[in-house]
Amino acid sequence: MLRYFSEKKYNHLVKDYVTAKTIYNFIEEIGVGAYGVAYLLEDMNTHKKYVLKRLKTKHRHKKKIRQKFDQEISILNEIELPNVPKLVSKGEISGIPFYIMDYIEGKTFEQSIFQDGQIFSLKQSMQITKELLQILIEFHKKGIVHRDLRIPNILLKDNTLHIIDFGLAAYMKPELQLDKINNPKRAENHISDLYYIGHFLLFLLYSTYTPTKKKERSWQEELLLPQEVIEYIERLLIIRPAFSSAADALQSLPLREHIENTNIY
């Protein structure tokens, strides 16, 4: 009978399951992705919030997608870092796998930039990049690459960076060679995460940018950045020779003294 359930109808099954068989109150649906649906829950005793993420019903018979969903659960369970939601439990509802994890109550950088209009100075942007690379190094030490470090998946809570959504995460393949990578976003090694960080950093830097000319120019021309910073971002984006690791990228960050002395804010 499950094959006749639409996503909307299955939402009711999830709500009924949470209400009848868990310690949580069902609050609302909070997100829909290509492969999954997420709901906000609240512990009836502690009032702490959690997220239940389940596979979309249309993917229930797709072996590779189910395996990827199981891998997402395994990766979350293995990371065990304070900057990542903690896995609480897992199970199935009418044949559809799900898991429950901590809810991180913070603002994504997408919300901060495009909803709140927050701007980030060059100095702030480089500091955030430094903190992000430090987290990334811990991921890579565990053999895990996130592969989706975009502004909706990085957030601030109590001035601390948190990373969410491990739906595209993978186990690293250290033997993967740069010249064999066709799409850096999907590379199963450090190249993917550093490539995304390059774009993430550009979003931060563009938060201070006001167009002065109608004709669109390259970011190197539009953003008045020190040459060292331009070259650094070009290495993240593989325009110049790529960094050998996240640790290499962290060590190569433009010197703080140079950033502090620049008048670009």
Structural contact between residues 27 and 39, judged by C-beta atoms closer than 8 angstroms: yes
Can you tell me which residue has the tokens 């008048």?
263
Phi and psi torsions of 149, nearest 5°: -80, 70
Q: Is 53 annotated as a binding residue?
A: yes
**Rounded Cα–Cα distance for residues 25 and 27 (Å):** 6
Q: Which residue is it, tokens 């990578």? A: 181
Output the six-digit token pair for 169: 């995460």
Q: What is the largest CA-CA distance in the chain?
A: 66
Q: Give the residue ranges of the annotated binding site.
A: 53
Q: Give the residue ranges of the annotated binding site for ATP.
A: 53
